[in-house]
Amino acid sequence: MNKKRGKMRLSWNRKCCICMLPAIMGTLIFSLIPFFRVLYYSMINNQFEKSFALISNYRRVLENEYFRIAFKNSIMLILICVPILVVLAIVISLILVFGKMKQKGIQISFILPMVIPTASIAVIWRQFFSDIENIFPVYLLFIWKNIGICIILLTAVFASVDKEIFEAAYMEGAGPMKIHLHMTLPISAPTIFFTVLLSIVNSFRIFKESYLYYGTNYPPDYGYTLQYYMNNHFLKLNYQNLSVSAVFNTLFAGMIIAVGLIFIRRFQR
């Protein structure tokens, strides 16, 4: 019987490996190989001579004024919008789960921004915020566009918390604020951190909405992000600057995700 079970497990593992092969091949062909090619382009003088310049390309990009502006704006987007987005999502999710409200209709209303075509949203946004000359409309668009998925994730984890814990806390005289601060949020910490990471990743994908809102490759300095910088150098066929900025973008996002995963693992212990 043990031998038969071992064979069954081995065959099941083989089936799993076969099922994973398409995903592994797709990741290798469309992600890893192109990334290493980007690294190669970031270290050569140009695509015609192909002589190695090593770090001179990286130094030139770091000294570029517009790259520094784009990098600063991308960081500001994360530091300002992501905390506001996550806090709003937590508050709304707590109200939906513990406020005895009908969740289904409200959740659908928050998901709608993800379904509406981006071009339509940009047209409406330009009509409403045509007189505002700052980054506020883009920040608001990012929060409005991404709050739905955060609310769905958080309402799911808040609803799954054992209700007996709350009943015991109520019997001890704890109020709703203390219960949620000291019990609900700590228990849900891994999902909250995952929501933060997801929001940070989505902040790098706001380029399409921002581009349609401003309608140009060169928005005002306060709206110029890393995605604009890379897009403009792609249009100029400047593969070296494009590759270097892509490497910096990847490293920046990777560092943020790595720090977030470390926090998640500590809370799971």
Predicted confidence (pLDDT) per residue in 189-220, tens digit: 888 888 988 898 888 888 888 888 888 888 88
**Start-end of H helices in 43-162:** 56-62, 65-98, 103-115, 118-128, 136-159
Are the C-beta atoms of residues 90 and 154 closer than 8 Å to each other? yes
In the predicted model, is pLDDT for residue 85 greater than 90? Answer: yes
Q: Which residue has the higher pLDDT, 86 or 175?
A: 86
Confidence of residue 82 (pLDDT cuts 50, 70, 90): very high
Are the C-beta atoms of residues 229 and 67 closer than 8 Å to each other? yes
Predicted confidence (pLDDT) per residue in 55-76, tens digit: 888 888 888 899 999 999 999 9
> What pLDDT was estimated at residue 268?
59
> What pLDDT was estimated at residue 102?
57
3-class secondary structure, 160: coil
Among 18-32, 129-143, 241-255, the range scoring the smallest mean pLDDT is: 18-32
* Positive or negative: CA dihedral 216, 220, 223, 226: positive
Are the C-beta atoms of residues 126 and 167 closer than 8 Å to each other? no
Which residues make beta-bridge pairs with 184? none
Mean pLDDT of the region 230-257 = 86
CA distances from 17 to 11, 22, 29, 30, 123 (A): 10, 10, 18, 19, 47
The pair of structure tokens assigned to 110 is 């928050």
DSSP 216: S
- Mean of pLDDT over the chain: 82
3-class secondary structure, 254: helix
Distance of alpha carbon 256 from alpha carbon 248, whole angstroms: 12
Residue 214 main-chain phi, psi, to 5 deg: -80, -30
- CA torsion angle 131 136 142 143 (round to 10): -110
The pair of structure tokens assigned to 38 is 């980007």
Are the C-beta atoms of residues 206 and 73 closer than 8 Å to each other? no
**Which segment, 43-52, 99-108, 247-256, is predicted with the most confidence on average?**
247-256
In the predicted model, is pLDDT for residue 132 greater than 80? Answer: yes
The pair of structure tokens assigned to 233 is 């150098």
Q: Which residue has the higher pLDDT, 52 or 59?
A: 59
Are the C-beta atoms of residues 38 and 246 closer than 8 Å to each other? yes
Distance of CA 144 to the CA centre of its chain: 14
Distance of alpha carbon 112 from alpha carbon 144, whole angstroms: 10
Distance of alpha carbon 50 from alpha carbon 66, whole angstroms: 26
**Which segment, 77-81, 94-98, 263-267, is predicted with the most confidence on average?**
77-81
The pair of structure tokens assigned to 152 is 């769905």
Count of other CB atoms within 10 angstroms of residue 35: 14
Distance of alpha carbon 189 from alpha carbon 166, whole angstroms: 17
